[in-house]
Amino acid sequence: MQNPVYESVAKQIMELIKSGELQQGDKLPSERSLAEKFKVSRSSVREAIKVLTHKNLVESKRGDGTYICDRIDADIIEAFTEVFADQKKRLSDIFEFRKVIEPQIAALAAISIDDETLNRMKVIVCNQEILIRSGKDTSKLDEQFHHEIAVASGNSIFPDMMEALSKIMKESRSQPLQNKKRVKKSMTAHFDLLKAFERHDSESAAKIMRQHIKDVESAATDSDSFKED
């Protein structure tokens, strides 16, 4: 069976990126120009761009057009996103991965973290407290906190992995994390991690992170685990 036209168009655009004809940060030609270039309909071009957007290879800017992602890690994010996407409904597998990798990331962060990164993390946690008092969603800040830990590890691959992983962890960071007991437990872990980072205590950081992930897993997979009294 022949592949849909839009898939062929998407592959051709990807080839233009790989060949260097289209550079990171470049604006894509208009739909009309691409349709003429590939001798296809504009609707096929539109669908192809949707595919590339989903793969984090291009991004649309409202009122300005579509651009090639200017982040050098676009291919890494694409790879990890595809790996995890197949497991979206199998949270246990995802958490198993997190329990293996995130304690190690935390341990490395404790060794390598600098004052600037530590201060950013403190601001994030303080902002989380403010949102909690207002009864607002803290999931975005939770993502930022874990991303900063990955950055602090000093390994450029870990932030990419965490970004890809966060895309399919949104569900587990939503309702379960809004439970008051769950939020309180999560915040305690964040404060404990900050203390371990300040001491550059890699062993404690890994231990705290491992338990933190276990608690999050419990909340995400067992809705009764953190019910309010």
State how far the Cα of 184 lies from the Cα of 203, in Å rounded to an integer.
23
In Å, the largest CA–CA distance within the chain is: 64
Is the model's pTM score more than 0.75? no
What confidence score (pLDDT) does residue 71 get?
Answer: 59
Q: Does domain 86-221 have CATH number 3.30.470.20?
A: no
What confidence score (pLDDT) does residue 74 get?
Answer: 52
What confidence score (pLDDT) does residue 163 get?
Answer: 82
pLDDT in tens, the chain (229 residues): 455 788 888 888 887 877 778 888 889 999 999 999 999 999 999 988 988 887 778 888 888 889 988 753 555 555 555 555 554 456 777 888 889 999 999 999 999 999 999 999 999 999 999 988 888 878 889 889 999 999 999 998 899 888 877 766 654 454 444 556 677 788 999 999 999 999 999 999 999 999 999 988 887 655 443 333 3
State how far the Cα of 180 lies from the Cα of 138, in Å rounded to an integer.
12
Query: What are residue 3's phi and psi, to 5 degrees?
Result: -70, 150
* Residue ranges in the chain assigned as alpha helix (H): 5-19, 31-38, 42-54, 74-85, 91-112, 115-133, 139-152, 157-168, 175-178, 180-199, 202-221
Q: Write down the domain spans for the chain.
A: 5-68, 86-221
Q: Does domain 5-68 have CATH number 1.10.10.10?
A: yes
Length of the chain: 229
What confidence score (pLDDT) does residue 79 get?
Answer: 58
State how far the Cα of 108 lies from the Cα of 149, in Å rounded to an integer.
9
State how far the Cα of 163 lies from the Cα of 7, in Å rounded to an integer.
26
